[in-house]
Amino acid sequence: CVWPDDKDRVDYIQKIIDEYQFYGIKIQPLVQEFHFDDERMYEIYDMILDRGKWICFHAGTAPYRNKYVGYKNFMKFLDKYPDMNVIIAHMGAFEYRKFLQLLDNHENLYLDTTMIYIPNNVFPERKTKRPKVEDLLSYQDRILYGSDFPNIPYEYQLSTQGLLELNLSRKFYEKIFYENAKHLFNL
């Protein structure tokens, strides 16, 4: 992560991208407490965009909302950087529908499944809130498996179990668990 107040933020990001060959960075406004469109981040965003790298944003309102997250706040960033390569963590929870619909008009936008399709007994209240199977199938080329490992309140294997319990096609799982990421990062 990088904070807007870090004095060496631009040099740091340049080093991890150019020297260490990172594919991108993650930004967590819910925790870091700054807006997606904070001008202090523009130089970093421009660098990420110029190099064709990725930003993974925790953009949705789960597990709770604050003044920095949410669809409306994210749209301010996306309006300024419509061509940025972005992965939305947690499929934009709990604003799934809005983030899924963004996929229709932003070919460089992807969603990840982190903490969404875990077994129902882990977070039973989420079962009715998560995207429908039809959404997964419609956007299967734009969804990536995500885990948040090791920062998860359950056993790692549960991060895949809930997805597998949906009993979808092998091709679907190959895309979510492997092919989409391979394509995204040119592996």
The domain that contains 179 carries what CATH number? 3.20.20.140
Residue 157: alpha-carbon gap to chain centroid: 20
In a domain, 54, yes or no: yes
- Domain residues for the domain of 96 are 9-184
Give the per-residue pLDDT at 125. 65
How many other C-beta atoms are found inside a 10 Å radius of the C-beta of residue 28?
16
Placement of tokens 């995204």 in the chain:
184
In a domain, 3, yes or no: no
Alpha-carbon gap, residue 39 to 78, rounded angstroms = 14
Domain count along the chain: 1
Helix H or strand E segment including 106: none
DSSP lists the bridge partners of residue 26 as 56
Alpha-carbon gap, residue 166 to 155, rounded angstroms = 19
Give the per-residue pLDDT at 143. 99
In a domain, 104, yes or no: yes
In a domain, 125, yes or no: yes
In a domain, 1, yes or no: no
Alpha-carbon gap, residue 72 to 122, rounded angstroms = 29
Calculate the alpha carbon distances from 154 to 4, 22, 150, 173 in Å. Answer: 32, 28, 10, 22
Give the per-residue pLDDT at 153. 87
pTM: 0.95
pLDDT tens digits, residue range 119-144?
776 776 676 778 999 999 999 999 99
Phi-psi region of 166 (alpha: psi -120 to 50; beta: other; left: phi over 0): alpha
User: Token pair for residue 8?
Assistant: 């060496």
pLDDT tens digits, residue range 105-121?
999 999 999 999 887 76
Give the per-residue pLDDT at 124. 66
**Which range, of 25-29, 60-64, 141-145, averages the lowest pLDDT?**
60-64
In a domain, 23, yes or no: yes
